[in-house]
Amino acid sequence: MTHPRERSPEPPSERSPEPPSERPRGHRPHAVSAVRGPLLRFRDDPFRTGPEEALAYESDGLLICEDGRITAVGDHTSLRGRLPAGTEPVHYPDHLISAGFVDTHTHYVQSGMVATFASEMSDWLGHHTFAEERRFGDTPYARRVAASFCEELLRNGTTTALTFAAVFPGSADALFEEASARNLRIAAGKVLMDRNAPDDLLDTAQRGYEESKALIERWHGKGRNLYAVTPRFAPSSTPEQLEAAGALWREHPGTLLHTHVSEQADEIPWVRSLFPGRRGYLDVYGHYGLLGPGAVLAHGVHLTPDERDRCARTGTALAHCPSSNLFLGSGLFRLADAKERTDPLKVGLGTDIGAGTSFSLLRTMNEAHKVARLTGYPLDGVRAFHLATRGGAQAMGLQDRIGSLEPGHEADFVVLDPKATPLLSRRASRAQGVEDLLFALALLGDDRAVRATYVAGRLAHDRYRDGDRDCDRSGNRDTSAPAL
């Protein structure tokens, strides 16, 4: 198979995943509907312009949706005249409405082994990870875990996720089926792995190519599903398999490329020994045509300055996974080196379940702040929220569809409750403006702060309803807010 040795940067629209070719099962047109309350959206990148210039905030905002998309957003007084007769907004006073969270790296097949102790990563993989992923050869088991995974995403306000499946094609089928039932935007792929793993978890270059191609034809662009070509990491694929992965990605424009890079320091000499003709870890992917817009590489903790330059030059994105990096002792990702430069890298946040210890991107923001401080870079709340929303959308090439509350974007959003816990409530009551409130949510929030999650304009999770509590239409207790 022939391939370009490295993809040239393309305009985002050219490498953006293709729009859905058909509606999800069970879809029906949405009536015009709306939510009212404090609204947060991004006009620009706060790493470039600063928080005040990038952030747009409406203390009493109105978000109008139709057929799963946002049709208008802004001040309630200015927009309420655009509501059709009989349309009553669902009102969330004293809350904060944001674009839904975007998780740019996770492993749905590891969600059952979160917080599993091991002395080092090789032990964690060999004794726990591979044992758990082996179970996904059983389709009923895969479906149960996929359903649980999707519910956890919704409970934590995550409306888009880029995730690994297992090596078994049925594990990807199970996830796409469950995501379709909830209309979640999921990008996923079966793992490609043909060496340095247990024999019963290996495919071959040819079989991995054929199984991935069949999954692409079955799921990519169907409803809100996207496919990601997914070599696990360079050491677990032969040159022949990486060659096939590059061909597969090139042959299916609009798919994503998802793998790991430079997570642990001791991986780097191992990669050099396996690919002696290459200049380094990142160069392995570049050689096989696996860099460019639409490629999301997890971690990048130990990238060199030249490798970061190459990511910026090619439009390759990084998924920053602070919870996982701390749990495994991988090292500290230097966010400043990625963002404080004339050509900033595209960076999103990843929970990296199951080395990561929470599905919550609020808790992941907390960890990102601490890692940034340890590297001498203060990460404020506005920039943290950007990484978890618009930044993640940019990393996945979906910034024209998700990541901010904009007319024309898909109506995926989360309603956050600054009074969700006594400590958060006390801290929020002292917030000096919305920027300070975002920082409090990032440092003290978790799944309890997610009051409601809306997917394509429909209520998909309500904390009170799904927690056997009731609330009224104003967002307080007593009657759950109706689906849009």
Cis status of the peptide bond prior to 457, with omega within 30 of 0: no
The 10s digit of each residue's pLDDT in 97-153 is 999 999 999 999 999 888 787 666 666 676 678 889 999 999 999 999 999 999 999
Q: Judge whether 343 and 45 are in contact, CB under 8 Å.
A: no
- Could you give phi then psi for residue 431, rounded to 5 degrees? -60, 135
pLDDT for 299 beyond 60? yes
Confidence of residue 198 (pLDDT cuts 50, 70, 90): very high
For residues 11-20, give the mean pLDDT. Answer: 36
pLDDT above 50: residue 480: no
Instruction: Look up the CATH architecture of domain 33-99+404-466.
Output: Roll (2.30)
Task: Report the pLDDT value the prediction gives residue 446, as an integer from 0 to 100.
Answer: 98
Pick the CATH number of 12-18+101-395 from 3.50.50.60, 3.40.50.2300, 3.20.20.140, 3.40.630.40: 3.20.20.140
Report pTM.
0.91
Q: Helix or strand or coil: residue 65?
A: strand
Q: What's the average model confidence in pLDDT over 442-469?
A: 91
pLDDT in tens, 405-418: 999 999 999 999 99
Determine phi and psi for 436, rounding to 5 degrees: -70, -40
Q: What is the mean pLDDT of residues 63-72?
A: 96
Structure confidence at residue 22 as a pLDDT band (50, 70, 90): very low
Q: Tens digit of pLDDT for each residue in 176-192? A: 999 999 999 999 999 99
Per-residue pLDDT of 333-387, as tens digits, reads: 999 999 999 999 999 999 999 999 999 999 999 999 999 999 999 999 999 999 9
| Mean predicted confidence (pLDDT) in 217-236 | 98
pLDDT at 25 over 50: no
Pairing of strands 90-91, 96-99: unpaired
Domain spans, the chain: 12-18+101-395, 33-99+404-466
- Looking at residue 121, its pLDDT comes to 66
When computed from its CA atoms, the radius of gyration of the chain, rounded to whole angstroms, is 21
| Contact in structure between 46 and 438 (CB atoms under 8 Å) | no
- What is the percent of the chain where pLDDT is above 90? 83
Phi, psi values for residue 403, rounded to 5°? 100, -15
